[in-house]
Amino acid sequence: MTGRVPEGLRELLAQAAGEGHAPWRTLLKAGDWALLLMAALLVAASYPLLWRGGVADRAIVKRDGQLVTELALNTPRKYEVVGAIGTTVIEVQPGRARVLSDPGPRQYCVQQGWLTRANAVAICAPNHVTLQLSGRSGQNGAYDTLNY
């Protein structure tokens, strides 16, 4: 069997190697394309229906896992939390909240920016402070990682 190519394979290779002919076109039939299109439409249609972020109506601030305060997201204000290495400043605007400043070295929680969806979290790990938004999402934050 040295150098011999079966006849059926030879025809398939010749067809696939034809001028301007893409081999994947011979592998996907019209029904395959219709199925791929229907799957893409189903994913696009289900995304807004299954998104569980919800609308936030309050900010929950914790230090070392203990509740410090809950802030309503309907009034602009700033709130200071003294943590393990300094003071973290939380800023609230209507419908959103953020960590304005933090003494942590890498500023990850500040870079998180404005949080607007329920169950969104900014964690200032070095200072042991967390900011979480809560609201009418219907989940009570039970499975936070499933939202992302």
Are 67 and 44 in the same domain?
A: no
Are 18 and 83 in the same domain?
A: no
The candidate with the shortest Cα–Cα distance to 56, out of 134, 143, 115, 138, is 134
Could you read off the pLDDT of 91-140 as tens digits, one per residue? 999 989 999 999 999 999 999 999 988 889 999 999 999 999 988 644 45
Residues pairing with 121 in the sheet: 132
For the full predicted model, state whether its pTM sits above 0.85: no
Are 70 and 37 in the same domain?
A: no
Could you read off the pLDDT of 32-66 as tens digits, one per residue? 889 999 999 998 888 776 765 578 889 999 999 99
Containing structural domain, residue 105: 56-138
The candidate with the shortest Cα–Cα distance to 114, out of 129, 127, 133, is 133
